[in-house]
């Protein structure tokens, strides 16, 4: 699995410091000016900046929990989808790091659902528009954030699978019956689903031209 910035936040160390700088800049740009200069975001910057690279301890975990709570409040306060999804993604990463996987899953599910609704609504609004360049740039940013959140979900599911392995019963081998050889049949090329259809289950029947431009 390819690592992402949110997964780096979970694992800590120097990669977490670099990931935090990148995510901090992104959220700062996406938040409304009032929230960006508010006490909550300033407190998040101080708490995470102080604890993100340090090894786990009671003090570090307390700082990360406080930052996760504040990020949840910021996600509820902002009206901008990108900022809300990023805040929930960072909160999920911090909860995983302190061992609260259930809370992390809730944030991940809400972030994915938000991106799903936003991408679907923007795709409908974009039909017939004469200025697709700005929309394509925004759609790319949202898909990139979606990849980040889905990488965090895969990381979380992998941890659960390792902790609770599932044993499958062994099956007895059976003799294969002789079957007449069938000639190979050439078939048409299968259509490749888009990233949205794989991750979000979206279908854009009228967006064939849009896909070719992304």
Using alpha carbons, list the distances in angstroms from residue 27 to 90, 121, 174. Answer: 10, 22, 58
Assigned token pair, 25: 């800049």
Query: Which range among 52-61, 162-171, 179-188 has the greatest average pLDDT?
Result: 52-61
pTM exceeds 0.85: no
**pLDDT tens, residue by residue, 64-98:** 999 999 999 999 999 999 999 999 999 999 999 99
Report d(CA 153, CA 155) in Å as an integer. 5
**pLDDT tens, residue by residue, 10-20:** 999 999 999 99
Please report the pLDDT score of residue 130 as a whole number: 56
Please report the pLDDT score of residue 161 as a whole number: 43
Report d(CA 188, CA 136) in Å as an integer. 31
Please report the pLDDT score of residue 209 as a whole number: 41
Decide if pLDDT at 195 tops 60.
no
Decide if pLDDT at 122 tops 90.
no
Please report the pLDDT score of residue 98 as a whole number: 94
Decide if pLDDT at 60 tops 80.
yes
| Total Cβ atoms within 10 A of residue 136 | 13
Decide if pLDDT at 140 tops 50.
yes
Confidence band, pLDDT 50/70/90 cuts, at residue 212:
very low
What distance lies between CA 137 and its chain's CA centroid? Answer: 18
């Amino acid at each position: 699995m390819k690592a992402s910035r949110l997964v780096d936040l979970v694992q800590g160390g120097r990669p977490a410091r670099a990931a935090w700088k990148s995510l901090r800049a992104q959220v700062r740009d996406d938040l409304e000016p009032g929230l960006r200069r508010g006490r909550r975001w300033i407190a998040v910057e101080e708490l995470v900046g102080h604890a993100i690279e340090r090894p786990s301890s009671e003090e570090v975990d307390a700082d990360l929990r406080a930052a996760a709570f504040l990020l949840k409040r910021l996600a509820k306060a902002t009206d901008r989808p990108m900022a809300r999804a990023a805040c929930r993604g960072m909160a999920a990463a911090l909860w995983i790091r302190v061992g609260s996987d259930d809370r992390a899953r809730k944030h991940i599910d809400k972030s994915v659902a938000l991106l799903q609704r936003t991408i679907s609504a923007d795709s409908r609004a974009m039909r017939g528009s004469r200025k697709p360049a700005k929309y394509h740039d925004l759609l790319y940013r949202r898909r990139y954030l979606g990849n980040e959140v889905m990488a965090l979900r895969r990381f979380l599911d992998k941890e659960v699978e390792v902790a609770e392995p599932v044993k499958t019963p062994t099956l007895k081998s059976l003799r294969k019956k002789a079957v007449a050889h069938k000639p190979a049949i050439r078939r048409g090329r299968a259509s490749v689903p888009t990233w949205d259809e794989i991750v979000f289950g979206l279908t854009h029947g009228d967006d064939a031209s849009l896909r070719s431009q992304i």
